[in-house]
Chains A and B, each alone.
Chain A
Amino acid sequence: MSAAGEAQARAGAGGWDRPTEREKRAATIPDPESTPVPAALRERVESAMALYPDSRSAAVPALHAAQELHGWCSPEAIEQVACVMRVTPAYLDSLATFYDMLETEPAGRHSVYVCTNISCSLRGADELMAAVEEAAAADPEVRVRAFECLGACDIAPMASVDGVYVGPLTPKDAPVLLADLRAGRPILPERQLARRPVADPHANSRAFPLPPPEGAGAGEPEEGQA
């Protein structure tokens, strides 16, 4: 709430717990004459808009692009995207406050998402989260967030470091992870998801239908059913 609230407060909008600034006019679509937009950002937003029958579909990809440039969805970033897309800043604000990956307050250049959902927490994600937070403390360039299920429960507990999935991790890995990140090295290369084979050792040799289990007992655990 606070992140969203601050962004809204900056924009002068009210909320359920703050009065609206009644004197202030709602922001209109920014004037291209008075809104300088970096050429690279303009190009990315325009090429995203060209992909869809309705150009507004490009709003989230455009905000992603602006966030990459500015570090977060700052009022300036929103204004620039709004100018190119010809929508109001409020419209984009409504998106930035909805989606978890769009930052609504100044964030570091690096983001570390630690998955703390059920499968990861069963395997020690809360301890991992505490260790990563401790290792990253006092570093304004690294933003650590506890994130909802990142879809990598096979390497639980895990983290996504600037979009790179690594796991399984232990609290002891936290300082190494942060050191790799600060030094610009690949993060824990041997534990990156990209290099992991499928867990099923028989994925290549299994045939269906399976032969009926011996003794035809439906309830018996079956081992080695390649």
Chain B
Amino acid sequence: MSEALLLHDIDEPGLHTLAVYEQRGGYEALRKALAMTPAQVLSELEASGIRGRGGAGFQMGKKVSFLPHGAIERYLVCNADESEPGTFKDRELMQKAPHMLIEGIVIAAHAAEASRSFIYVRGEYVLQADVLDAAVAEARAAGYLGEDILGSGHSLSLVVHRGAGAYICGEETGLLDSLEGKRGNPRLKPPFPANQGLYQGPTLINNVETLATVPAIMRMGGAEYAKLGVETSTGTKVVSVSGHVQRPGNYEIELGIPSRELIYGLAGGPPEGRAIKCWFPGGSSSPVLTADDLDVPYDFDSVAHAGSMLGSGAIIVVDDSTPILDVAMKLAKFYRHESCGKCTPCREGTAWTVRMLERIDSGEATPMDLDIITSVCDHITGNCLCVLGDAMAMPIASMIAKFRPEFEAHMQAAHERAPAPAPVSAGGEGGFA
């Protein structure tokens, strides 16, 4: 039996200050970790089985183990560019428990033998970046950061870097380019950041929540942590629930509980008298699921098995009062705006998808257009340097697959509503009726 790991006492007054955090046992895990060798810390992380909380769900311990050893400068980058629509868990953690994140970063840097670290926080999070700046200064003054941390001989610098508003900078290689002072364009992989990342050096990149969990893993021991959750999705996770629910917010759950419990039990379900039409299990990039999928256990593999993905752990609920076309249009326009333009399938595909969806609304579309949209989505998926295009293609394709009759009805209604086409002068048009 253990308490909530991340949200426990999150609203304790002053938790963002070093004094209160230390009073509550803060930085004890760091002392424990510094008494161990990097290899021992790494084996605890591997034993915990924790999977990255940013979206890809890659095992953190494995990621750390990919970093080459030897006399070479290694970097740790914390991805705090939380921009996936529907996700706001990192915001709450950074704002209320910044020292938990810093402690996690120092421990992970010890395991990865990194000597410089950065927190890339999105520019919109002004308050959170200010809180982090203050916390970093406190931690440095107390000897938890800087040269020779707590007499261990391990040194680490930490810089809070503020972005300036670009979804693509949440993609790890786009983030690295942005952190190097460039436009945030994703890079070709391989080489992966573990080998060649920031400033061409080996780099460990992890999400805020992943790193913030590290102190708890050290405190409990990796094996004990792995007992939480289910076999392939260990531990607890903060889930952001938003959209048409009565109590939107962050909830910490043990991975593997039924999604229904999360949406109805914790977040209160849709407003009175409404039913769930569809829901995104992992941010707006995940294929939608319907009310039939509410019993899917909320963990990485079960959600993937149901045809979607856990992503960043952000549930967006859409109730039956919303036309599906509106949802599709919002998404497509977002990804069109955020596409960095480097790869053609994504740059053109997102723009054309928006135009074709607009045709549905204006009554110009025919049912064949739905197949064309699906085919465009097919051509985006897997054909770009990063998954931004896929992130539009997958949910849009899933909406068309699951709500095709509604799209067609919308199309038909719009067609009947549309003004009659201008009379065609003789010989003007071809045979397209």
Contacts and interface: CB of A to CB of B under 8 A. Distances in A.
A204 B34 CA distance: 29
Bin chain B's interface residue count. 35 or more
B243 A122 contact: yes
Interface stretch (A5-13, A26-34, A132-140, A191-199): A191-199
Interface stretch (A37-45, A147-155, A172-180, A182-190): A147-155
B247 interface: yes
Contact of A148 (B83, B91, B125): B83
A61 B129 CA distance: 13
Nearest to A155: B248
Contact of A113 (B124, B236, B284): B124
Contacts of B2: 207-208
A203 B295 contact: no
B252 A203 contact: yes
A225 B265 contact: yes
Contact of B161 (A57, A98, A220): A57
Contacts of B318: 122
Contacts of B122: 151
Contacts, number: 211
B368 interface: no
B184 A194 contact: no
B88 A148 contact: no
Contacts of A102: 164-165
A148 B123 CA distance: 13
B127 A193 contact: yes
B363 interface: no
Bin chain A's interface residue count. 35 or more
Interface string B278-313: 000000100000000011010000000000000000
A198 B90 CA distance: 12
Nearest to B316: A119
A118 B165 contact: no
Given A204-B9, A222-B265, A149 B86 contact: yes
B356 interface: no
Interface in A194-222: 194, 197-200, 203-204, 206-210, 218-222
A57 B164 CA distance: 13
A53 B118 CA distance: 12
A148 B85 contact: yes
Given A60-B178, A223-B265, A203 B8 contact: yes
Contact of A156 (B184, B242, B266, B297): B242
A58 interface: yes
Contact of A219 (B96, B163, B260): B260
Given A56-B181, A210-B254, A198 B164 contact: no
Q: Which of B126, B240, B330 has the most CB of A within 10 A?
A: B330
Contacts of B116: 53
B203 interface: no
Give the 10 A-B CB pairs with smallest separation, nearest first: A199-B249, A153-B242, A100-B165, A163-B126, A99-B164, A56-B181, A101-B165, A149-B85, A59-B181, A203-B7
Given A63-B164, A198-B250, 14 more contacts: A54-B181, A56-B182, A58-B181, A95-B182, A99-B165, A153-B87, A155-B248, A164-B127, A204-B9, A204-B10, A206-B3, A206-B4, A208-B2, A221-B269
Interface of B: 1-5, 7-11, 82-88, 90-92, 95-96, 116, 122-127, 159, 161-167, 178-184, 199, 227-228, 236, 240, 242-244, 247-252, 254, 257-258, 260-261, 264-266, 269, 284, 294-295, 297, 314, 316, 318, 322, 326-327, 330-331, 334, 337-338, 340
20 contacts: A99-B184, A100-B166, A121-B330, A147-B165, A148-B337, A149-B86, A151-B87, A151-B122, A153-B88, A156-B242, A194-B95, A197-B11, A198-B10, A199-B250, A200-B251, A203-B7, A207-B2, A208-B2, A221-B260, A221-B269
